[in-house]
Structure 1
């Protein structure tokens, strides 16, 4: 869950999309009593494309009155996503499905939605306090475990000094992933650290490659990299090659892309940790609709990850992606 130029203008266009049928809006409902608005992440990101596919299938199978809205890219993402949620709440639908990606901005809005008797289902981010905020359910990853499983896999492949590249510092979930990665390495007798990458730079491959290459050349003891997005994993593999360290530095990533999966098959990347975003989109709608229809709500958070993908199962994942493009969050 990556570039948006002139996003301030895009905010206006995105807000207008709430009220007009668009490629990402599945319903133009004038009776909001049963509307479910799903506020997703940037439509340019394959991860969120898988979420949209899950949303779409759930809406079709359930006959739900669902609307899917999303910004185009990552620039000014805190401000933009917050505004999308504000507009969704202002429409007073029956339910909203959102990620609590930026708690400082979004937690008050979740509370506002509940005060207006709007059901809230959280996906992806917000696991720690979804019940305290009055949300109906949470579906998503266990972020510390995502990083911890990555750290275990990295250690198994010989990493003793790794860095975790965090491209969205404002989202505490990403830092928890890095914390898990470092904890697993330290538990195994190694060490790790976090590198903060500006969100605006995360879709600039040349800048990412130059940054990672510089880190590797100035810190020759680093022998492992974990990225928190698949496209950054691809950039990291290229940066390792640029630094002439392909035989020394091991790379893994969180989330999937076809390029990342192919690199795993080729042996140039060790693993990817999958949080199965399709399930987040599908169950986000399902949980909201079942609550609206029957008053049902799970009593515990629902896990969609971590799932380790490495050389032992990557061909199976690629085969699914070939039959059902985008379902695994790869393109």
Structure 2
């Protein structure tokens, strides 16, 4: 059943991308018409300048968000949008950043709802101010209750279940799910899904994802304390690469698999030091969230009919197909 779901997800994503790629407009009459035609031919919108604020819960130095920003910037460049990006891992500070965007009277807000309760009031303020808000990456179970117009990302619980089923196929018996930010709904959902989909034993380990030496020592200590762990599951590429070092330090024979990609993680899959990765396509999430606000403002469009999220994953990246991704990873877009 999960295979069918992933296939539907990828099909929907391709169709959405194709539709959005054609989005442009031109004005009529004389020189302006010629300029509009030229803009359309170049794949750029000739619509009035608008400002979009993107507010995320990104931690400093997390390369995942570089991919999100690149996708958002590509859409902004195409759509004649001024993109204002800000982030803070503290939910309270993130809410303050959203309030700043409201005060600046932006035309749209794209945000991640890693801790939905902290954002509920400020999203309501954006609605009252007439500013459309779309969600992406985190908050798939909460975006409608929060009053967001659309959502772009993957269903993390389903992705976790698919991950667990794959571990069964690989013969794993005891998994350690490493969460780098306690209480972050997307990360917690991944481990919950893993426990549901995996027939073996699953332990959860919390680490401080902003302190890699601490991450390394905490995973190492856990592996030394329990030699029955044969699978380490991480929820971000930097954590996976650190976990590989922990295996060596602990003298463990466990294997590492992860959610999310970056350029170095792709190389690790190619080398076999990381078994596989689940790609939620962060570049696509950033692109679609910004492009959707342009479509809504200029043509009243919204994806999913306001009822369904637009899913960008999960897609499994293994040694068998990683070379197809490597080309784009080297450009910093996967």
What's the TM-score, normalizing by structure 2?
Answer: 0.80
Match for residue 147 of structure 1 among 146, 160, 168: 160
Question: Take 1:285 and 1:231, find their aligned partners in 2: how far apart are those partners?
Answer: 26
Give 1:167-316 correspondences, 5 Å limit. Answer: 167-186=180-199, 190-198=200-208, 202-245=209-252, 248-298=253-303, 299=305, 300-316=308-324
Match for residue 327 of structure 2 among 281, 306, 319: 319
Question: Take 1:90 and 1:280, find their aligned partners in 2: how far apart are those partners?
Answer: 25
Q: CA deviation at 1:272?
A: 0.8
Q: CA deviation at 1:43?
A: 5.8
Question: Take 1:308 and 1:287, find their aligned partners in 2: how far apart are those partners?
Answer: 26
Question: Take 1:124 and 1:240, find their aligned partners in 2: how far apart are those partners?
Answer: 29
Question: Take 2:49 and 2:124, find their aligned partners in 1: how far apart are those partners?
Answer: 19
CA contact (8 A) 2:262 2:329 kept: no
Greater mean alpha carbon deviation, residues 116-125 or residues 126-135? 126-135
Q: CA deviation at 1:58?
A: 0.7
Question: Take 1:153 and 1:176, find their aligned partners in 2: how far apart are those partners?
Answer: 17
Q: CA deviation at 1:101?
A: 1.4
Question: Take 1:167 and 1:68, find their aligned partners in 2: how far apart are those partners?
Answer: 27
Question: Take 2:99 and 2:168, find their aligned partners in 1: how far apart are those partners?
Answer: 43
Q: What is aligned with 2:18?
A: none
4+ long deviations beyond 4 Å: none
Question: Take 1:203 and 1:129, find their aligned partners in 2: how far apart are those partners?
Answer: 26
CA contact (8 A) 1:37 1:97 kept: yes
Greater mean alpha carbon deviation, residues 229-238 or residues 132-141? 132-141
Greater mean alpha carbon deviation, residues 40-49 or residues 102-111? 40-49
Q: CA deviation at 1:239?
A: 0.5
**Gapped runs of 5+ residues in structure 2?**
1-47
What's the TM-score, normalizing by structure 1?
Answer: 0.81
Q: CA deviation at 1:170?
A: 2.5
Q: Report the secondary structure of 2:302's partner residue.
A: coil
Q: CA deviation at 1:57?
A: 1.1
Q: What is aligned with 1:47?
A: 64
Q: What is aligned with 2:52?
A: 36
Greater mean alpha carbon deviation, residues 37-46 or residues 313-322? 37-46
Q: What is aligned with 1:69?
A: 85
Root-mean-square deviation (CA), in Å? 1.8
CA contact (8 A) 2:76 2:83 kept: no
Q: CA deviation at 1:304?
A: 0.8
Q: How many residues align?
A: 283
**Gapped runs of 5+ residues in structure 1?**
1-31
Q: CA deviation at 1:242?
A: 1.1
Q: CA offsets per residue over residues 80-115 of structure 1, 9 Å max, x none?
A: 322212211222222111111111211221122112
Tell me whether 1:83 sits opposite 2:96 in the alignment.
yes
Q: CA deviation at 1:134?
A: 2.4
Which is greater in Rg?
2
CA contact (8 A) 1:46 1:326 kept: no
Q: CA offsets per residue over residues 109-150 of structure 1, 9 Å max, x none?
A: 112211221100111112113223321110011111222222
Change (3 A) 1:43 1:278: farther
Q: What is aligned with 2:75?
A: 58
Q: Report the secondary structure of 2:198's partner residue.
A: helix
